[in-house]
Amino acid sequence: MTSRRFALLAGLVLPMLPALAQRPPSPPLPDIHQLMHEVQDHQKQLEKVRENYTYSSLVTVQDIDQNGKVSKTESTEHEDFFVNGHLIRRIVKKNGQPLNEHDQQKETEHVTKQVEKAEKTPSDQPLEGQSITVSRVLEIMDVRNPRRQVYRGRATILFDFIGRKDAKTHGLAEDASKKLQGTMWVDEADRQVAHLEVSFNDNFRVAGGLLATIQKGSNFNFDQSPVNGELWLPTGGEGSLQARLLLVKGIRQHFTERNYDFKRFRVETQQTKDARIAPEKK
């Protein structure tokens, strides 16, 4: 039986050897620090160019009870665009229903204030209450263990990272980044971030924990893809949050985001404070 198995295995493997011998060796991995600089430069360029684009997003948040079951589900749909490198979101629907006239007016006022803040806030600093940009994440992290992997049919270089405790940060979002660790997939041809997986490696306390504590293990992932063969744009994400508010209330949530309907503005179009811009007609 052993000799038969060996013969069978040899019959499968030996015909493959010539093809394996002719396969060109993989090129050496680029220097990890040089790669990081290239990715940062490309990401910053992307964050400028994407101000010519708008898209729709659907965010779904599920509250999870103590038994691990979904106790509540809410969704919001947005019109998303960028001002001075900052993401601006206009809510257009809640739980599948369009906003009424009163809520539309309130949302317009809110978006107007956000646009004004974005115009005055440097692009490398997050707006209050907003998440940190990918390029800023790259600046705050130490990276290690580069290797190759095919991700969604494209060659990528992935590496692990962890927040630098000595990094100079601005605001809660950047402060929280020091508590993060994860893995990043970089498209090898375009030097763009294709996928990001992140988790908190320690509790993050807001005001010493008096206001809130984001608990260790909270996590999220993030995707970017080339859209319409023109530009890499965010296409979605998913994550889980465990936190305690005001030292009393514990929350567990699972959230997903899906981005779609990408449109390009006319070059000469200027973003007005009401945040409504007619997309370019094809």
**Token pair recorded at residue 60:** 């779904």
How many percent of the chain have pLDDT more than 90? 39
- Residue-level pLDDT at 272: 39
What average pLDDT does the chain have? 81
Domain boundaries, the chain: 31-264
Q: Is the pTM of this model over 0.85?
A: no
> pLDDT of 19-54, one tens digit each?
545 555 667 888 887 888 888 888 777 777 788 889
Taking phi over 0 as left and psi of -120 to 50 as alpha, with beta for the rest, 96 belongs to left
- Residue-level pLDDT at 171: 73
- Residue-level pLDDT at 143: 86
Please state which CATH class domain 31-264 belongs to: mainly beta
Residue 86 scores a pLDDT above 60? yes
Mean pLDDT of 94-119: 94
Residue 18 banded pLDDT, cuts 50, 70, 90: low
- Residue-level pLDDT at 5: 52
Any residues with CB less than 8 A from the CB of 256 and at least 6 apart, and which?
A: 59, 60, 236, 237, 238
